[in-house]
Chains A and B, each alone.
Chain A
Amino acid sequence: MTSADGLFEIALIIALIALAAGQILSMARLVIGPTVADRILALDTMVINALGLIVVLGIYQGVKVYFEVALLVAMLGFVSTVALARFILRGDIIE
């Protein structure tokens, strides 16, 4: 029992570190990304990484309200990605 719990704690720490490293690496792509599509893609990846951070933090602290937050972040991330791409494609968001 205790060994499984210890393994779970270690896996939580590893997941948090991996997500934070992913956030930093995709921020590097956001800064150097030569094209506009790369920057939109890096922002989308950062939103998804933040979603993963929220989910892992919710497991870590055992708080249920984090899942509503994660759902909201997922919706906002999708809408903002589509809005950015739409602005590049059409020069306007709502025609």
Chain B
Amino acid sequence: MTLSTIATLGAALSLLIGSGFVLVGVVGLLKFDDPMTRLHAPTKVGTMGIGMLLLASLLASLAKGEPSIHELLIMAFLFVTAPVSANFIAKVTIHRRTCETPPAPQKDSTWSTLDTPDT
């Protein structure tokens, strides 16, 4: 067992785990029956699925003998931006009232995204 063989096996394992997470997330996106519930599944595609695929790419470049760390950049960017876009989509769901309206906040009269004086 050389280092290259171990890295190749690790890359293959990461690819399988990543594709499993992608499939689970997308099936969840298709099968759940509530907009807020549907929001839950595809975030796994963004973090675990793509994270594992990028880890596989890292290990494959290590196995070829020319290590690169570009993938960490994409991983960090995705880990930072995935919660932000998920939060925006949740705000769209509350704003369009396509989910159960959450209980009123304690200090203000209503949620800021529902506070539309013009309409």
Given contacts A55-B54, A85-B85, contact A21 B96 (CB under 8 A): no
Q: Supply 17 A–B pairs (Cβ within 8 Å), ascending by A.
A: A4-B8, A5-B8, A8-B15, A10-B12, A14-B15, A15-B19, A17-B19, A18-B19, A25-B29, A35-B96, A37-B98, A52-B18, A56-B53, A59-B57, A81-B85, A85-B89, A89-B91
How near does chain B come to A27, taking the closest CB pair, in angstroms? 10
In B63-77, the 8 Å CB interface with A consists of: 64, 68, 70-71, 73-74, 77
A8-B8, A59-B60, A85-B91 known; A18+B42 contact, CB < 8 A: no
Q: A7-B9, A22-B26, A26-B29 are in contact. Are A52 and B50 (CB under 8 A)?
A: yes
B77 & A52 in contact (Cβ 8 Å cutoff):
no
- Count of A-B residue pairs with CB < 8 Å: 169
B12/A11 in contact, CB under 8 A: yes
Question: What's the dominant secondary structure at chain A's contact region?
Answer: helix
Q: Mark A63-83, 1 if CB is under 8 A from B, else 0.
A: 010011011001100100110
Partner pick for B45 among A22, A67, A70, A78, CB 8 A cutoff:
A22
CB distance from A14 to the nearest CB of B (A): 6
- Chain B residues contacting A55 (CB-CB under 8 Å) are 50, 53-54, 57, 71, 74
Size bracket, chain A contacts: 35 or more
Min C-beta distance of A58 to chain B, whole Å: 7
Chain B positions within 8 Å of A, measured between CB atoms, are 2, 4-5, 8-9, 11-13, 15-16, 18-20, 22-23, 25-27, 29-30, 35, 38-39, 42, 45-46, 49-50, 53-54, 56-57, 60, 64, 68, 70-71, 73-74, 77-78, 81, 84-85, 88-93, 95-96, 98, 113
Interface SS of chain B: helix
- A-side interface residues toward B, CB under 8 Å? 1, 4-5, 7-8, 10-12, 14-15, 17-19, 21-22, 25-26, 28-29, 34-38, 40-42, 44-45, 48-49, 51-52, 55-56, 58-59, 62, 64, 67-68, 70-71, 74-75, 78, 81-82, 85-86, 88-89
